Structure 1
């Protein structure tokens, strides 16, 4: 129903809009994906403790998923150690389970009062795993960008009768999509070099 209404609105708008406005709408969507990917990759800290790696951890608490930061104090203890001090010690097992489930390659030590996370030294195998993990994220981001391209191609096709105009719009949509794919590939390649270098 939402899609139908959105297309209906666009159907009314497109005759009065220029190509630039349609491309701007598409770029806004693609920028969100680009920024999300950039933040995702930036969170991968290599060989150094940084609390940002735990930003997306949610914990099952009273049948609700709660962000780790809402139920515990998190601090960097040493250059390769993070301490997690929950408000209630009963939730320690659930926190540990969530961290391990996130598959971040972290070593957790639960002493009954807090969880100590040790950031392991970067082995060759760990480097390969980080690159594989980033490659999967890269491919997902590319798929989303291509889906946005597909969505806007359909909007154009649905709302514009003139085939030449449709082809011009599609050409510009393809150019913008390639630009954004290139941008996320550059982010990925920089991170890959960082992983291999350290």
Structure 2
């Protein structure tokens, strides 16, 4: 019984860490990343489509993203979508390829980004702690319903705390990696 509760808890905590990683992909560092454009949608034959479904995205240089639409008529639509996304990029095209040059980040901007990263990490930790609370409530309910003994409850609570600590450490690790990436000049 307790194993199912802990397995379910681990699954939910893993999703929280993955969600944090996805959020971090959208954060601009000093380097170009196609992840910065993941959320951009363009109108393609009347349907909103993700940018990577209508064009090939590449990073030929550390501070440049190239977007090569599969159809030349998509260039103005893609440029407009990028401008409307308010990412701070100004796309330029040569008739075939759209180029986005990322300006270097200032020291002040890097520090602001790190603050935002820490805030996102703290939100992920709060989510993990909420999952821990739900798991412990589930275990207490099992004990109340006489499905597990008090000793089993104590052991399971310790296991829940150990798993929680490991996921908080994972979040700190993800934060440290991204923070290093942002502060790198």
TM band (smaller chain)? 0.7 to 0.9
1:169 aligns with 2:156: yes
Residues 101-157 of structure 1: CA deviation (Å, up to 9, x unaligned): 66655x222448443211221311221232123123212312321232232223223
CA-CA distance at 1:99 after TM superposition:
4.0
SS of alignment partner, residue 136 of structure 1 = helix
Contact 1:30 1:148 in 2 (8 A): yes
Identify the residue that residue 140 of structure 1 maps to in structure 2.
123
Residues 61-81 of structure 1: CA deviation (Å, up to 9, x unaligned): 267542211011212233321
Provide the rounded CA distance (Å) in 2 between the counterparts of 1:134 and 1:33.
Answer: 15
How many residues are aligned here? Answer: 179
TM-score (norm 2): 0.73
1:153 aligns with 2:136: yes
- Stretches of structure 1 that go unaligned for 5 or more consecutive residues are 1-16
Among 100, 107, 110, the alignment partner of 1:124 is 107
TM-score (norm 1): 0.69
Contact 2:34 2:65 in 1 (8 A): yes
- Stretches of structure 2 that go unaligned for 5 or more consecutive residues are none
CA-CA distance at 1:94 after TM superposition:
5.1
Provide the rounded CA distance (Å) in 2 between the counterparts of 1:75 and 1:39.
Answer: 19
SS of alignment partner, residue 108 of structure 1 = coil
Provide the rounded CA distance (Å) in 1 between the counterparts of 2:82 and 2:121.
Answer: 22
Provide the rounded CA distance (Å) in 2 between the counterparts of 1:187 and 1:132.
Answer: 14
Among 59, 66, 69, the alignment partner of 1:76 is 59
Identify the residue that residue 167 of structure 2 maps to in structure 1.
180
What do you get for the CA RMSD once the two structures are aligned?
3.2
Higher relative contact order (CA 8 A, sep 6+): 2
Relative to structure 2, which stretch is displaced further, 19-28 or 93-102? 93-102
